[in-house]
């Protein structure tokens, strides 16, 4: 799987402003397997690129530990 990237979309409730979106983005970027993260506030989601696949629980915990609700991960 050398060179393969995994893309995931995380649907998030509770973000109301740019500051919220930045906090979520920073939390996601804090996961060592995350190569990049982009939060789309209006769509209530984040798109991430992983260096390698990880458990959805790791992603969910990173977002929920800062006070937001993950409703789905695809």
Where in the chain are the domains? 33-74
Percentage of residues of the chain with pLDDT beyond 90: 93
- pLDDT at residue 65, as a whole number: 98
SS3 26: helix
CB 70 within 8 A of CB 57: no
Rg (CA), the chain: 11
Report the pLDDT value the prediction gives residue 3, as an integer from 0 to 100. Answer: 60
Going edge to edge, which strands form the sheet with 45-50?
34-40, 45-50, 6-13, 69-73
Dump pLDDT digits (tens) for 34-68: 999 999 999 999 999 999 999 999 999 999 999 99
Q: Work out the pLDDT band at 1, boundaries 50, 70, 90.
A: very low
Dist CA 59 CA 36 (whole Å): 13
Q: What is the pTM of this model?
A: 0.92
């Amino acid at each position: 799987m050398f060179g393969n990237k995994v893309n995931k979309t995380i649907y998030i409730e509770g973000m109301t402003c740019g500051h919220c979106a930045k906090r979520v983005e920073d939390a996601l970027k804090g996961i060592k397997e995350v190569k990049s993260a982009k939060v789309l506030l209006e769509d209530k989601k984040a798109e991430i690129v992983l260096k390698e696949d990880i458990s959805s629980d790791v992603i969910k915990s990173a977002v929920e530990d800062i006070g937001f609700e993950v409703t789905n991960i695809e």
